[in-house]
Amino acid sequence: MRKAILCGMTFAFVLLAAGTVCAQALRPNRIDILYAAPKTEKLKPVYELVRKERVLEKVRDVLRPLRLPRRLLLKTEDCGGDSNAWYDGEAVTVCYEFLDDIWKAAPAETTPAGIAPIDTLTGPIADVFFHEVGHAVFDLWKIPVLGREEDAADQFSVIIMLNFRRDEARRLIMGNAYQYKNDVKSASITMPTHKFADEHGTPSQRFYNVLCIAYGADPALFGDFVSSGILPKDRAEGCEDEYKQVAYAFKTLMGRYIDRKLARRLHHGWLAPVDRRPPLRQEP
Ligand SMILES: [Zn+2]
């Protein structure tokens, strides 16, 4: 059914399918950012670090092509000890505690898997923002989500990462996967049953999902995930189909909301040089 609706403050009636967002009101460059000052001393170093590294500015830059119906605020703040991140229907919030945990987990040297220290920061930080912005755009664009929204938000993040130049995409994916390292370093894990009730997949599942979608997108670039045995062959066999399904959903449901011309210019040289050493975190 088609119906005429009034778009924002314009006086033109636009024909749109019922339930879609108003095409007239959609614009790129609608992300705002805010570094809220932390209340506690111990979060000051991470606050200074993300400001100095212009983390929010960089995230805003890469998300410029999203054509949003309103402005969307991305902010970092002190969450009173809660290491978390969320989209609350208004803004995306990432806690300094969460960013500090990422910093805490960064190694001093390149990992045996070949992940540079800088990428162990960049990958998880990019992921938390892309994931939360995924929740935001599902809401703002009224995207129908089949399956768990948490999985869809993870997939949104991985698809954004795979749109970067190949060398940067690989660094982002490897850094993203690094955040789950503690959960996959042993051959088996034990966890309380109630943990499976969580709306998110388990960290191990999220780890394999990231690797699978990346491998399915580019088996040459990510072929070592399989040859090294990190991504089991049984799962890897279906990854091309898994990737195609996600990419098709992304393109079909969200392609029209992304300024492709703008996006093409932004996915190059976004990451810091791979040999750049992040500052070592001092225990407060
Ligand atoms: Zn989420």
| Cα 150 to ligand 1 centre (Å) | 5
Residues 13-37: tens digit of each pLDDT: 444 444 567 666 999 999 999 999 9
CA 250, 252, 254, 260 dihedral sign is positive
| Cα 84 to ligand 1 centre (Å) | 10
Give the integer Cα–Cα distance in Å for 27 and 259. Answer: 9
Closest of 112, 108, 109, 107 to residue 228, by C-alpha = 112
pLDDT bucket at 282, cuts 50 / 70 / 90: confident
Residues 163-199: tens digit of each pLDDT: 999 999 999 999 999 999 988 888 898 999 999 999 9
| Cα 227 to ligand 1 centre (Å) | 31
| Cα 278 to ligand 1 centre (Å) | 27
| Cα 244 to ligand 1 centre (Å) | 22
Could you tell me the two tokens for 143? 């995207």
In this prediction, residue 8 carries a pLDDT of 44
Residues 113-157: tens digit of each pLDDT: 999 999 999 999 999 999 999 999 999 999 999 999 999 999 999
| Cα 132 to ligand 1 centre (Å) | 6
Could you tell me the two tokens for 187? 């051959």
In this prediction, residue 276 carries a pLDDT of 94
| Cα 263 to ligand 1 centre (Å) | 24
Least confident of 5-14, 89-98, 131-140: 5-14
| Cα 131 to ligand 1 centre (Å) | 6
Query: Got the DSSP string for 147-170?
Result: S-HHHHHHHHHHHHHHTS-HHHHH
Residue 55: C-alpha distances to residues 52, 58, 67, 215 (Å): 8, 5, 21, 27
| Cα 21 to ligand 1 centre (Å) | 22
pTM: 0.92
Angle between helices 117-140 and 55-62 (to 10 degrees): 50
First to last CA, the chain: 60
Residues 232-262: tens digit of each pLDDT: 999 999 999 999 999 999 999 999 999 999 9
| Cα 199 to ligand 1 centre (Å) | 8
| Cα 273 to ligand 1 centre (Å) | 29
